[in-house]
Amino acid sequence: MTKIYQNMLGLIGDTPLIRLDGPSKAAGCDIYGKCEFLNPGASVKDRAALYIVRDAEQQGRLKPGGTIVEGTAGNTGIGLAIVANALGYSTIIVMPETQSREKMDTLRSLGAKLVLVPAAPYSNSAHFVHQSRQLAEETENAIWANQFDNVANRRAHIETTAKEIWHQMEGRIDGFTCAAGTGGTIAGVGLGLKEFDENITIALTDPHGAALYEYFKSGELKAEGNSVAEGIGQGRITANLEGAPIDTQFRISDEDGLFWVRHMLKDEGLCLGLSSGINIAGAVELGKKLGPKSRIVTILCDTGLRYLSTLYNPDWMAEKGLPPMPWQTVGG
């Protein structure tokens, strides 16, 4: 039975799982993807946005007609903008100018005020996170969403994503893996699943250029290489990552993630972003590690339509030294 919701907010979460055929064959087990691209803002971040806004309302910090200010790679901004529109708030979104054009256009189209800043390291006050905090302080009747260190973010995944996965898998799940941006998804789903069954293996899938693989392996925050994946790749232990129950970790290259992005589109008809491809590559590694008959879940974070000007643009890919989708031609 399809449900009737009272407003858009009811559409957030309750996403289906899909069995991923090629990845399952490659790993020799069953791999499932949680279709977070089906959220109304087309990414996993709608869940965190809703929880952050509801939490701020309950604490009395967010008042009628207030403004929500946030620094984001884009998807959290899109989630916040649609939730804010539905509840009568405004949004100011601070984003590094290196993120995809589609996310910028989407945010402007949704009515968010968009502030673009140059990419800078976290230690620099010009970094988008610090800039957004400052803007929130300077703006009247505004709150700072603070997705990296506001644990309402991971609570969304403990209370919704993890529970959904457990019930959809009918309690038969051996492993879960995904990459971290804020860490809300991996920590929240990890903590939530361990409450059901502490034997479920929680694996961090880290892109190149991020420091968490080395941290969970040796205790040292150390990055290696780089990645064009948007929304993932963390260099510090955010409040959301504190106490995350990580049992094992994989480091995945953009090339390996792109292999699965290409496969999923051409052979399975799903158009995904690169963080989803990297998650799938991690899930294949986890499946090989846990063996045949294992049942693994990962996150399909956002839609590839958000990256038509980047991943699906052969000229952009050539600029980055990456292979275009084989059915596209450079300059064509």
Identified catalytic residue from 3, 25, 34, 45: 45
Size of the site for ligand PMP (CB under 6 A): 19
Segment 32-71, which members bind ligand PMP (CB under 6 A)?
43-45
Which residue, 204 or 296, is less far from ligand PMP as judged by CB? 204
In the structure encoding, which two tokens stand for residue 300, read together? 């399909």
Alpha helices by DSSP H, 28-160: 45-58, 75-87, 101-109, 128-138, 152-156
**Tokens standing for 234?**
């963390």
* Contact range with ligand PMP by CB under 6 A, out of 24-32, 57-65, 226-234, 288-296: 226-234
CA of 132: how far to CAs of 77, 95, 147, in Å? 12, 9, 11
Mutual angle of helices 274-290 and 254-268, in 10-degree steps: 100
d(CA 153, CA 205): 19
Least CB distance to ligand PMP at residue 49 (A): 11
Query: What residues contact 105, with CB distance under 8 A and at least 6 apart?
Result: none
Paired with 304 in beta bridges are none
Residue 45 bears catalytic tag: yes
Which residue in 33, 96, 257, 273 binds ligand PMP (CB under 6 A)? Answer: 273
For residues 73 and 97, give the distance between their C-alpha atoms in angstroms, rounded to a whole number.
9
Q: Which of 230, 254, 256, 285 binds ligand PMP (CB under 6 A)?
A: 230
- As measured in angstroms, the least distance from the Cβ of 213 to ligand PMP is 14
Compose the 70-99 pattern: x for residues touching ligand PMP by CB under 6 A, - for all others. ---x-x------------------------
Say how many CA atoms lie within 13 Å of 16 toward its Cβ. Answer: 4
Q: Is 302 in the site for ligand PMP (CB under 6 A)?
A: yes
Binder of ligand PMP out of 24, 131, 185, 205 (CB under 6 A): 185
- Asked if 208 and 253 touch (Cβ cutoff 8 Å), the reply is yes
Residue 13 in the binding site for ligand PMP (CB under 6 A): no
Q: Is 233 an interacting residue with respect to ligand PMP (CB under 6 A)?
A: no
Query: Which residues form the catalytic set?
Result: 45
Give contact residues for ligand PMP (rule: CB under 6 A).
Answer: 43-45, 73, 75, 179-185, 230-232, 273, 275, 301-302
